[in-house]
Amino acid sequence: MQGSLYVAISSQIALERRLTTLADNVANANTTGFRATEVKFNEVLADTGVADVSFVDQGQDFLKTSNGGLNATGNQLDFAIRGEAWFMIETPTGNMLTRDGRFSLTETGQLVNINGYPVLDPGEAPIQLDPGGPPPKVGRDGGLEQDGVRLGAIGLFEADLSQGFQRKAALGIVPTVPPEPLLDANSAGLLQGYLEESNVNPVSEMSHLIMLSRAFESASAMMKATEDIFKEAIQTLGSGR
């Protein structure tokens, strides 16, 4: 009986974590460049001495890697990444990766993201442009030109997220393993005048939310049934003394 109680508890812990990620995905379905969080769960077997009991672990987060749709804005400082790569942004708490390419120029010509944080080049340095010059032209590799003069490049980075990462709200992520500049220009590139939409499928995520809510209720019912059995057993044993 204890085995079923522990199985139900492990199931609820796992379901709660998945419900949290699904709710976050739905909330960011319209967030530019947002990548949905998925959770991988593994089976854990425990030898109880009578029979093996199958539990579920707490799961490991990973990001859905499919690209979001493209939205043509016509803004020369909007950028979308096609393929597996990230922008790097300097924030007060350290550098982070993002797919949100809504950039602008400050009065001094620094390229910043929508929150006013500096966009970094492949060497992780802030990007400086001529604030009085024409809109920059950006190549697939991130190279920046004004008046036909190359002034730098928007950094594109790759990261091994299998080792873990931390979300910074909806702004971006911080990988456990430091990211590296993208070396294979054929695997990813920039599009100027476009923004990448979130890769969240709201209809699918809402369906999963409903299914998981029902599964959570089933686990709760299993726990209550097990507790009732324990109570009956205690009452029966107590009355026999």
Instruction: Give me the torsion for CA of 111, 116, 121, 125, rounded to 10°.
Output: 110
The pLDDT value given to residue 46: 47
Q: Look up the pTM and report it.
A: 0.78
pLDDT at residue 49 above 90?
A: no
Q: What is the mean pLDDT of the chain?
A: 84
Q: Are 199 and 67 in contact (CB under 8 A)?
A: yes
Q: Are 24 and 232 in contact (CB under 8 A)?
A: no
Q: What is the pLDDT of residues 83-136, one digit of tens each?
A: 999 999 999 999 999 999 999 999 999 999 999 999 999 999 999 999 999 999
Phi, psi of 45 (to 5 degrees): -100, 135
Beta bridge partner(s), residue 157:
86, 181
Distance CA 175, CA 179 (A): 7
What percent of the chain is predicted at pLDDT more than 70? 76
Confidence of residue 47 (pLDDT cuts 50, 70, 90): very low
Q: What is the pLDDT of residues 132-184, one digit of tens each?
A: 999 999 999 999 999 889 999 999 999 999 889 999 988 899 999 999 999 87
As given in the structure block, the two tokens for residue 41 are 């769960």
